[in-house]
Amino acid sequence: MINIILGAVSLGLLWAIMTTGVFLTYRVLDYADLSVEGSIVMGAAIVAKLITGGVNPIIATVCAFAGGLAAGVVTGLLNTKLKIPSLLAGILTMIALYSVNIRIMGKANITLLKSETVFTMVETIGLKGNTGVIIVAVVINAAIAAALYWFFGTELGCAVRATGDNRKMARAQGINTDTMKILALALSNGLVALSGALIAQDQSYADVSMGQGAIVIGLASVIIGEVIFYRGNFLNRLISVVLGAVVYRIIIALVIEMGMKPTDLKLFTAITVAICLALPTFQPQIKAKLAKILPQKKEVK
């Protein structure tokens, strides 16, 4: 049991990086970006191709991040310069990346079983299995959260947040909202690709279909994090997103342990997200009902 939990935590921490990317677009930029389904695979594809080609795993991972940045820029340009609606722009990039990813890998999947990865590298200093993954992932997540907290406090970062908050106001204040969108999409997809690159190295394979449903997993994690952990400022939000991704993986591990078919997981996730997204709509009614049931003067929340 403890191993199942540790496995879920390590996987959750790797997916947390992609969740942070989803958080950047979905929450900060207010943009539902579907290209992440392609860029997570892109990260895996680039890292697998480079590592099997003999490139140092760390350099390969950085290249994967850069590939994700580029994918985000493409989505951003489709949306801002060609005026393609945001959902469609993301779908176009996602579909295009499917072909691109197969071209990168040269086939539909690559195994990394016999290759050096960032995780085999830390094994050589004695951090084996889940412990090694967890430590590496915690360090990376902490570095990302710190970097993002700093960035979104800068003038440029504030301009991105204003763009996500109120495009009209941002333009009236002289902010080039198109550039800010592209910037945020690039950052987001870069993180998603980085996540894909690490997941591939952890699982020792890259597969062209491993991104399926990634956006929903990301959203579920963001929402779980907000519901359970979010209190207060921006740094707190970033941390709650990471914790949300971990909790999501633990929940999944538990329901599988309880006998749910792995192939039903996506249905389970989709229903969870649908319920969470619908909550605000029904909250007043739920509150009213609760108030009837609990007539004492207690704050219902």
Partner 1 sequence: MSKVLELKNIEKTFYAGTVNENYVLKNLSLDLEEGDYVTVIGGNGAGKSTMLNIISGALMPDSGNVVIDGEDVTKLKEYQRAKYLGRVFQDPRMGTATHMSISENMAIANRRGSKRGLKWGLPKSEEAEYKELLSILDLGLENRLDTKMGLLSGGQRQAVTLLMATIQRPRLLLLDEHTAALDPKTAAKVLEITDRIVTQNRLTTVMITHNMRDAIKHGNRLVMLDAGRVILDIKGEEKQNLTVDQLLKKFEHLGGESTLSDRMLLG
Distances (CA, A) of 222 to 1, 131, 201, 298: 26, 24, 24, 29
Residue 81 CB, shortest distance to partner 1, in Å, is 13
**Site for partner 1 contains 124 (CB under 8 A):** no
**Site for partner 1 contains 236 (CB under 8 A):** no
Cα–Cα dist 254/19, whole Å: 20
> Rounded to a whole number, what is the distance in angstroms from the first to the last CA of the chain?
33
Among 77, 122, 158, 251, binds partner 1 (CB under 8 A): 158
For partner 1, the closer CB: 146 or 291: 146
**Site for partner 1 contains 186 (CB under 8 A):** no
**Site for partner 1 contains 265 (CB under 8 A):** no
**Site for partner 1 contains 149 (CB under 8 A):** no
**Site for partner 1 contains 154 (CB under 8 A):** yes
Cα–Cα dist 59/46, whole Å: 11
Distances (CA, A) of 199 to 11, 178, 202, 286: 8, 32, 5, 39
**Site for partner 1 contains 146 (CB under 8 A):** no
For partner 1, the closer CB: 123 or 178: 178
**Site for partner 1 contains 170 (CB under 8 A):** yes
Among 165, 236, 261, 289, binds partner 1 (CB under 8 A): 165
**CA 178, chain centre distance (Å):** 22
Cα–Cα dist 115/54, whole Å: 9
**Site for partner 1 contains 225 (CB under 8 A):** no
Residue 131 CB, shortest distance to partner 1, in Å, is 36
Residue 141 CB, shortest distance to partner 1, in Å, is 22
Among 39, 75, 177, 240, binds partner 1 (CB under 8 A): 177
| Half-sphere exposure at residue 45, Cβ-oriented, CA atoms within 13 angstroms | 27
Among 82, 155, 284, 295, binds partner 1 (CB under 8 A): 155
Among 84, 135, 156, 276, binds partner 1 (CB under 8 A): 156
Instruction: Tell me phi and psi for residue 207, to 5 degrees.
Output: -135, 140
Report the run of H or E that residue 64 belongs to, with start and end.
helix 57-80
Distances (CA, A) of 121 to 38, 202, 209, 235, 276: 27, 12, 27, 30, 40
- Contacts with partner 1, residue ranges (CB under 8 A): 151, 153-159, 161-162, 165-166, 168-177
